[in-house]
Chains A and B, each alone.
Chain A
Amino acid sequence: MHPINLKNILLICIILACGLGMPMQTMAQADPLIEKVSQKLAQVNDYVAEGVMKTDVSFIKASLGKVKVYFKKPNLLKVKKEGGISLLPRGGVSLTINTLLNTKQYTTIPSGTQVLNGKNLTVIKLIPTDDNLDWVISTLWIDPVEALVYKTATTTKENGSYEINMQYGEYAKQGLASKIIFSFNTKDYKLPNGITLEFGDEDPTAKQKALKNKKGTIEITYSKYTINKGIPNNIF
C-alpha cells in the first residue's frame, strides 16, 4: 500500500477536472452547424457592399438612400450613406452575423428547430463568454443544409434588443446577405414647441402614428459586394 499524499490528491483532481470539464466545454462551444457557418464566413476577410437603405421609424420621414457598408475581420463594420445623413439603430447595426461569430467568444446552446418562411431552421442560442462584449444573448435561426443564418435576435447590455432578418441571393456561397432588415424598439420622440417654434401647427396624423408604432426598421438591400480587396482601417 502506497500512502496517499497531498501531491497525488492534487494530481487526481487535475485529471478529473480535465476529464469531466473539457468535454462539456467542447460540446457547448463547437456546435458543428455554427462551425459550418463560421467556415463559410471565414472566406470573407473584408468586403465593401453597395446598397440602398430604407429607414422606417414612425417619427422619421426619410427617403431611400444609397449606402456603402464596409466590413473587416474580425468585427469592424461601418455603414456610410453617400453624401448625406444616415440614421442607424444605436449599437445594433454592428451586431451582424460576421461580428457575432468572428469573436469566437461564446457558448452555444441548441434550442430545437423552427419553421420560418417555409424553411426548417435550427435554432441556436449564443451566450458570450467574454464579459466585455456588448451583447448578452443572441439567438440564431440557421438553415442546416445551406449553413446560412436567416434570422438573429440579439439582446445588448445598453442598447436594447435587435432582430435582424436576412435574405440571400448571389453571394449566398460566402454567407453574405442580399437584404438585411434590422428591427429595433424606438423610444418616444417629442420636442417642446418652444424649441421648434411650431406653435399650433402640429401634424396630428404623425403624432397618432408615432404613438401607435414603437418598432423601427432599417432595411438595406445590397446590389454589389466587393470581397477581399482590402480596406484601410481609417474607414471605420
Chain B
Amino acid sequence: MWSLIQIELYKIFRRPRTYIAFGAIAALIVVIQFGLKIDGDAYAGFLMKDINDTLTVDGKVLNGYLICYILLQLLLVHVPLLVALIAADMISGEANLGTLRLLFTTPYSRTHWVIAKFIAASMYTILLLIWLAFLALFASMWIFGTDDLFLMKSNYVVLIEQSDVLWRYVGAFVFASFSLLTVTSLGFLMSSLSSNSIGPIVGTMSAIVFFTILSTLNIPLFNIVKPYLFTTHMNNWKEFFDIKVNIDNEAIRGSILNIPKIKTSLMVLTLHIILFVTASIIIIKKKDILS
C-alpha cells in the first residue's frame, strides 16, 4: 500500500497545479499581514469602537494570536476550494488521460488504488494545512509578537490569556483537518463520477459554495437541514476559542464553552468522510472504464 501511496504522492507533487494552492495561501497571508502591520491600529480601532466607549484596553491587542484568528476566519472558507483543485482530479484526471485503465490492470485491486489515492490526496490536504498554520500562526507570532488573545465576537468579547491560547490553535487546526478532509473526500467522490478533470473540480467548488450559503443563511426553513450539512460544521473550529465563565463571570482557564458541539461536528464530518470515500470505492469498483 505504501508504494501505491508514494506513486500517487509523486504524481500529485509533479503537477505544477499542486503548488498553486501553496502559493495562493502564502500570497494572501503575506498581503494581509503586511496590511495589518502597516495599518493594523486603524483596523483594531474600528473593531473596538464600541468597547472604547466604556473601557480602556491596555496591551498589545493586535498580536500574532489575533492575526492568526483573523487569517483563519478568512482563509478556512476559501482553502476548501484550493483542496478541490487536487482532490477532484485524483481519479477523473487519470480517466481523462486514459491511464486509469492501465492502473487497474496492475495486481493491486481497485479498492487498493482508490484508498491509496485518497490517502495521498489527504496528505496533500494536511500539508496545505500545515503550511497555512506555519504562515498564519508562527509567522504572525514572529512578526507581531504575542499577548493575550482579545477576541471580538458579535455579541461579546473573549479575553484568553496567552498561556492558554496555543493548545486551542492545535485543537482548531486538528478540527480544520477534519473539515478539509471532508472536502477532499467530496472532491474524490465527484472525481469518481466523471471522466474529465474540470467537471468534478467545478462540481466540488459549487457544492461547497452552495452548502456554505445554506449554512450561513438564518432562514427557518433552512435551519431544519443545517445540522446535516458538512459546511455548517466546518466552521466550528472557532468553538476552541470560547471559554466558560463561572457564576461570578470569571473566565475559567483552559475551558471550552461547548465541547459537545465540537464532538458532534467532528462526528458529522467523520461520517461524511466515510460516506464519500465508501461511495467512491463502490462507484469505482462498478465503473466500466471506457477511456
Contacts and interface: CB of A to CB of B under 8 A. Distances in A.
Interface of A: 54-65, 79-81, 83-91, 93, 184-193, 195-203, 206-207, 210, 216
Contacts of B216: 199-200
B283 interface: no
A61 B58 contact: no
Query: 5 closest A-B pairs (Cβ-Cβ)?
Result: A85-B59, A199-B216, A62-B159, A63-B251, A85-B148
Interface of B: 47, 50-61, 73-74, 77, 147-148, 150, 152-159, 161-162, 215-218, 226, 235-236, 238, 242-243, 245, 248-253, 257
Contact of A198 (B153, B245, B250): B153
Nearest to B162: A84
B238 A87 contact: no
Contacts of A64: 250
A186 B54 contact: yes
Nearest to A60: B157
A85 to B, nearest CB: 3
Contacts of A195: 47
B59 to A, nearest CB: 3
B221 to A, nearest CB: 13
Nearest to A219: B248
Contact of B54 (A187, A197, A199): A187
B50 A61 contact: no
A165 to B, nearest CB: 16
A197 B158 CA distance: 15
Contacts of B77: 197
Contacts of A65: 161
User: Interface on chain B toward A: helix, strand, loop, or mixed SS?
Assistant: mixed
Contacts of A185: 54
Contacts of B47: 191, 195
A136 B245 CA distance: 36
B156 A85 contact: no
18 contacts: A59-B156, A60-B157, A61-B159, A62-B159, A63-B252, A81-B58, A85-B60, A87-B55, A87-B56, A89-B54, A90-B52, A90-B54, A189-B157, A190-B50, A192-B154, A200-B226, A202-B155, A206-B155
A202 B159 contact: no
B50 A63 contact: no
Contacts of A91: 56
A85 B74 contact: no
Contacts of A89: 54-56
Nearest to A204: B155
Contact of A88 (B58, B148, B158, B218): B58
A83 B97 CA distance: 59
